[in-house]
A and B are shown apart, each in its own frame.
Chain A
Amino acid sequence: MADKRKQVCLKGTGLTKVFGIGRQQTVAVDHVDFEFYEGEIISIVGESGSGKTTLAKMLLGLIGTTEGDIYFQGKKRDISSQKKKKEYWKNIQAIFQDPFSSYNIFNKIDSVLLDCIHMRGGKKLPYAKKLELMTEACGFVNLKFEELTNKYPFELSGGQMQRLMIARIFLLKPKILLADEPTSMIDACSRATILDMLMQLRDEIDMTLIFITHDIGLAYFVSDSVYIMERGIFVERGSADEVILHPKEAYTQRLINDVPKIYEEWDLSTV
């Protein structure tokens, strides 16, 4: 549950993104409002085409907003220059859906991790210290740095790559982590590992975790607050128990109904 005494970490008002011009306009995100509290785990659930990934990219500052404002720690976000963007990205980081396309295949694993150390201002550290940091980060996600050094990311399995992503976050220690379907491209067995590590990491560096997912089961399992998104708007929001066990909106009900169950009877007559 969101602790009301805690501060609002990320806030959006009237956030809108319109793609295209004239007749071909599509509204991907349509005037959404939200407050994410510090230390909270939030899930934004939606089917493909609901605009959840567009929203995520706006939050990350990877694409501009058409309308509306984003407030970070109470202040209006300012990412008008490369320098300010870099400052913002020290606070908000992401893990993407497809680990296989998240890495530059020409860069070695070392350079991925060194980038993070440099971003945290560790450019001038002696190499031994950097090595220690990298080994620590890899150790956190149960990878051995000695085995990874001088290797390329594509030599790892999907699960290992996603863990390396988490090691990256471990080094960066951002205030907010945005995980865009972090487990949908990897095997079920690795999924538990990834989720475990994300939770541990959150406890370790006390960050706000935002999951973007289509999997309502995952949202229920991990999050404090759930936002259900349909065609660019939040149709329902609230605590995970409220939204998923007692959904008010028809769309949410349908979404939950349509997911296969194992303990309850899965009612097939509703479609």
Chain B
Amino acid sequence: MSNVMLEVKDLTTKYITRFGEDIYAVDHVSLKVEDGKSLGIAGESGCGKSTLALSLMGYYFPPLHYTGGEITIDGRNITGMNPDDVRKSVLGTEIAYIPQSAMNALNPTRKIIHFIEDVFEAHNPLATKKEIYDIAKGFFETVGLPAEVLQKYPVELSGGMKQRTVIAISVILSPTVLIADEPSSALDVTSQKMVIKMLRSLMNNGYVKSMIFITHELPLLYNVTDDIMVMYAGQIVEKASAKEAVFDPLHPYSRGLMGSIIVPEEGLRDVRLTAIPGVPPNLKNPPAGCRFAERCLYVRPLCTTHPVRLREIAGGRTYRCILSEEELREAYKNG
């Protein structure tokens, strides 16, 4: 049995708005990432995937508040730690976080090597500048970045290069979990591919033990992660291996999401895109029953009144629907 690197049980976090309303952006989310594995989180904007990323780090600042659940990283429970301790002993060493705009976080007046010196100063103050430089140089070369980058200022690097540099700086201490939130969305396709390649090589070489990759772009997720988790309105609606999630989605929402994929591949001009009508529910007062019920094409009377639990089926797949696997497949066959 392989080692579990990140385990989350029933994590719930909420935003408190200026008017005192509670918005549960992450609602009883449980997940597990094993050593050497990566998990993708997919969903539309506003479904809570970015909030989940912030919540996973245990790094809560108003208006985001922790309300329940447990986070365990490599056997260490980090729930309830205060943000200062999280910053000192979890971020960087246990969890590395890369948001979409990470490349803009570099102070333009400092050279890249200085940021790496900062990282070592915080976590390994004994290292000398020479040692740090040697480590950084070796590391940059293994992840495919030229060593000259170390002596450059952020403005001298292109967007893609900057983003890769930030990733390299974040993972130089070999974190247990790497959380990447849309790390390549702001880049052109070529830079995006370089970022993906780098992330894959970080995983393959064991620099990063496990990864959570968040994006709304399914083809990208399919190519990066082992498993895919689909979120809708703050909840997990389906979790499956990447292949199953893309080619054989069970939940009607996942199906709709997969049905909107467009890729430039032969024979795909004539597929019919499936559209999901309507908009996601307002999380200020979520529906009592299934949160997807009002947009679902296969809705049953019970759906709107009864909350739906996650069902687990063979092969470790889970999905949130009152219909059984057979019923769903039957419904899809009939269109």
A residues with a Cβ closer than 8 A to B are 47-48, 142, 157, 159-160, 187-193, 195-196, 214-221, 240-241, 244-245, 254-264, 266, 268, 270-271
Contact = CB atoms under 8 A, between A and B. Distances in A.
Interface stretch (B6-14, B123-131, B267-275): B267-275
Interface residues of B, number: 37
Nearest 7 Cβ contacts at the A-B interface: A192-B273, A192-B275, A258-B189, A260-B219, A187-B44, A193-B275, A217-B262
Interface in B29-57: 44-45
A157 B246 CA distance: 27
B241 interface: no
Given A189-B44, A220-B264, A263-B268, 18 more contacts: A159-B279, A192-B260, A193-B275, A195-B273, A216-B189, A217-B264, A221-B269, A254-B190, A255-B189, A258-B192, A259-B219, A259-B264, A260-B222, A262-B222, A262-B263, A263-B265, A271-B193, A271-B194
Interface of B: 44-45, 188-190, 192-194, 196-197, 200, 216-220, 222-223, 246, 256-257, 259-266, 268-269, 273-277, 279
Contact of B264 (A195, A256, A270): A256
A184 to B, nearest CB: 11
Contacts of A160: 279
Contacts of B192: 258
A262 B261 contact: yes
Contacts of B194: 271
Contact of B263 (A187, A245, A259): A259
Given A215-B262, A261-B263, A220 B279 contact: no
Nearest to B243: A262
24 contacts: A142-B277, A159-B279, A187-B44, A188-B44, A188-B218, A190-B275, A191-B260, A192-B276, A193-B276, A214-B188, A217-B262, A218-B262, A220-B268, A221-B268, A240-B269, A256-B264, A258-B193, A260-B193, A262-B219, A262-B263, A268-B193, A268-B200, A270-B193, A271-B197
Given A189-B276, A261-B219, A262-B219, A268 B262 contact: no
Contacts of A195: 273
Chain A interface mostly: helix
Contacts of A260: 193, 196, 217, 219-220, 222-223, 263
